[in-house]
Amino acid sequence: MKSASKRLAANCALMLAMAVSCLAQEAHVGNLTGHATEGKKHYRRYCIGCHGPLGDGNGENAQWIDPKPRDFTAATFKCRSTPTGTLPTDQDLYNSVGRGFTNSNMPHWDALTDQNRIDLVAFIKTFSPRWQAEKAGDPIKVPAEPPVTMESITHGAELFQKMECWKCHGQQGRGDGPSAATLTDSKDNPIRPYNFAAGGDDSRFKCGVTNQDVYRIFMTGLDGTPMPSFADVIQPNDAWDLVHFLRTLQTNRHSRENEVLKAAGGKIPTKAPDANPPAQPENKGSGSGN
Amino acid sequence: MRTKLVFVALLAFMVSPALSFGAGTVSGKITYTGTPAKQKPIDMSKEPSCAKQHTTPVTTETVVTGANNTLANVVVYISAGAPEESSAPAQAVTFTQKGCQYIPHVLAMHTGQELKVVNADQTSHNIHPLAKINREWNKSQPPGTPPLSEKFDKEEFVPVKCNVHPWMHGYFAVLKTSHYAISADNGTFSLPNLPPGKYTITAWQEDYGTQTQDVTISGSETKNVDFTFKAKPY
């Protein structure tokens, strides 16, 4: 009896400590410090309708929304600067709140002050215990961008083939590759690959508009979606070549990449088929004369 | 010389009764009742490099049965009663993607144990463990790239899929114990090297869920523990 009440007291103390630490959750970006207690007020006003009172993405509007609102209890986020499987940085979440998500119902919350947004980030971090147990991943380094050249674009096009990006995104980047129709996110909701060719000068990627953002998207992967991380299999310089090529898939968008491509005649040279046999090296020297 | 050996063996037996000497074994067979759902054929025509690796039709592997109603790919493990293990086995376990299938379909490993993921195909795969307790990650593995090295920290049955090839499904069984087995094609399993004690044995099938049974091992005996799952027709 005594030990039971002792255990109860210990449990209560633990729960209290957790509750306090939850409410004491902070977020830091530059000189800003966000507080969960403040963020909770803004959340209840601006976010609860879609993300829900429990932060699980089941707000009352959620049933009408596609893609579905983020489930914060899973602590899995698409837009990160950190490796796949790791928590994003406070800066990543702060950027997402301010940027919003293109092709979704998540608006850019630039009507909120910087302090409001960082408070919200602190509160979002109370929905999963992972924020107590883990640190954010180490951001993937993005080296300085090399100049846009036809060589870079051409090599990027080769990588697009080699990495089989086209399996989902399609040869023209229209999001219509052979696997596109079957894709689902980690909650089994259908999801479409990004259509590079849609939109013009206003077109945005899910996680930003700059070349650095594009670099980051395929190196980190978009966790919770079919888009994997390529950080282990693409070298930094190759990654920039791929970025330059991907920009040329945005055919209606003015860009340095499209200018360079146009100046070179508008076509990316493909290697002669003889110089690049389709991946059957073991057939070489077999003497079959095929 | 021989008496000396016997003496040493006897001594070892007395000193370490909890080690291999005097240790018990739990073995048994996994069967099902009813009619399991028919496995669906897999069409790999969109991936010719994989399709041509198969001479016989490929089907899903959600339920793999053998003769006399036996069940393969069932994870059987000690879920309670085994002594705490301080470290994971040093040897890595390997998960191979070959012919656009996962080999093995169900891979068991210890928490913290190294997992090597190999792509033996001529196509890119992405390895996407849909973990809920562990961390969810998703990595691309083009042909010819070195094996990926990963590990999971917490006990969980993690579904694994490849988004590029939506028919590819498998499981990681991440366990806190090294006392586990996967039932063979004839449904049999064996958990050796169990020191005397009371154990809970859990059997897990990806479609039929889990079952548990308690067993007591005293000395170097072999206890028979069979599990019978009720098959789902759909």
- d(CA A185, CA A57) in angstroms, rounded, equals 14
- d(CA B206, CA B231) in angstroms, rounded, equals 12
Cβ proximity of A107 and A254 under 8 Å? no
Q: Which residues of A touch B130 (CB under 8 A)?
A: 186
Domains by residue range for chain A, with CATH:
24-133 (1.10.760.10), 150-275 (1.10.760.10)
* CATH topology for the B1-44+56-84+182-234 domain: Immunoglobulin-like (2.60.40)
Q: Which CATH superfamily is domain B86-176 in?
A: Cupredoxins -  blue copper proteins (2.60.40.420)
Phi, psi of B140 (to 5 degrees): -85, 145
Interface of A with B (CB under 8 A): 74, 76, 84-86, 162-164, 167-168, 178-179, 182-184, 186, 221, 223-233, 279-280
Fold match flag (B1-44+56-84+182-234 vs B86-176): yes
Domain regions of chain B by residue span: 1-44+56-84+182-234, 86-176
- List the single residue in A168, A183, A228 with the smallest CB-CB distance to B138: A228
Q: Which residues of B touch A168 (CB under 8 A)?
A: 163-164
* B62 close to A (CB below 8 A): no
Helices (H) and strands (E) in chain A, counts: 11, 2
Q: Strand B24-33 vs strand B227-230: parallel, antiparallel, or unpaired? A: parallel
Cβ proximity of B142 and A162 under 8 Å? yes
Q: How confident is the model at residue A24 (pLDDT cuts 50, 70, 90)?
A: confident
Sequence-separated (6 or more) residues with CB below 8 Å from residue B14 = none
The string of pLDDT tens digits covering residues B1-46 is 455 544 544 444 444 444 445 689 999 999 999 999 999 999 999 9
Q: Is the pLDDT of residue A213 over 90?
A: yes
pLDDT at residue number B13? 45
pLDDT at residue number A4? 53
Q: Which residues of B touch A189 (CB under 8 A)?
A: none
- ipTM exceeds 0.95, yes or no: no
